[in-house]
Amino acid sequence: MRRVREWMEWTGRLGRAALLGRLAITAAVFLVLFLSLESLAGYTSTLVLYPPLFIVLSSLVVRRLHDSARSASQLLALVVPVLGPVYVTGLLLFARGTQGDNQYGDDPRSRNRDYLQVRIHEPV
C-alpha cells in the first residue's frame, strides 16, 4: 500500500528516468483498466478512471518540476496555446535537476549512496 501512496505524493523530487518509467506504467495500467471496464460496463463507466489518472499524473509532474527547483506554478504555462505545452514538456523531459539538495528535498540521484562507505578489495 505504501508503494501506491508513493505515486500520489506531492512533495519531494523525481528524476527524468523515474518520471518516464512511472508514466509508462501509469499509461499501461490505465489502458488495461479502461479496456476492461469498457468491455464489461460500456464507455460511460470509464469516466470513473479519469480523476485518479489526473491525480497520479499531476503528482508526477509536480515532483519532476521540484527536481529542477521549480514550483507547480510553472504548470500555468499550459494555458498558452502552443508554446505552453512545448515549454512544460521541455522542462519535464530535458531540464536537468539541480545538483544536491534543494528546497523540495534531497537529490534523487544521490539516494541510497553512502559516500563514507569504503570497499576493500581482497586479493584474488
Residue 35 has pLDDT above 90, yes or no: yes
The answer to whether residue 116 sits within a structural domain is: no
The answer to whether residue 73 sits within a structural domain is: yes
Q: How many whole angstroms separate alpha carbon 3 and alpha carbon 14?
A: 15
Overall domain count for the chain: 1
Instruction: Please state the rounded mean pLDDT for residues 53-78.
Output: 91
Q: How many whole angstroms separate alpha carbon 37 and alpha carbon 48?
A: 10
Place of cell 476492461: 36
The pLDDT score that the predictor gives to residue 119 is: 61
The pLDDT score that the predictor gives to residue 114 is: 57
The answer to whether residue 123 sits within a structural domain is: no
Confidence of residue 115 (pLDDT cuts 50, 70, 90): low
Q: How many whole angstroms separate alpha carbon 122 and alpha carbon 124?
A: 6
- Comparison of pLDDT for 52 and 5, the residue scoring more: 52
Q: How many whole angstroms separate alpha carbon 10 and alpha carbon 15?
A: 14
Output the DSSP codes for 78-103: GGSTTHHHHHHHHHHHTSPPPSS-BT
Read off the pLDDT of residues 7-22 as tens digits, 9 standing for 90 and up: 678 888 888 999 999 9
Burial 87-120 (b: 16+ CB within 10 A, else e): ebeebbeeeebbeeebebeebbeeeeeeeeeeee
The answer to whether residue 67 sits within a structural domain is: yes
Domain extent, residue 30, equals 2-110
Residue 32 has pLDDT above 80, yes or no: yes
Assess contact for 45 and 93: CB atoms under 8 A.
Answer: no
pTM of the model: 0.78
The answer to whether residue 124 sits within a structural domain is: no
The answer to whether residue 46 sits within a structural domain is: yes
Residue 69 has pLDDT above 60, yes or no: yes
Q: What percent of the chain has pLDDT over 90?
A: 53
The pLDDT score that the predictor gives to residue 103 is: 83
Residue 101 has pLDDT above 90, yes or no: no
The answer to whether residue 122 sits within a structural domain is: no
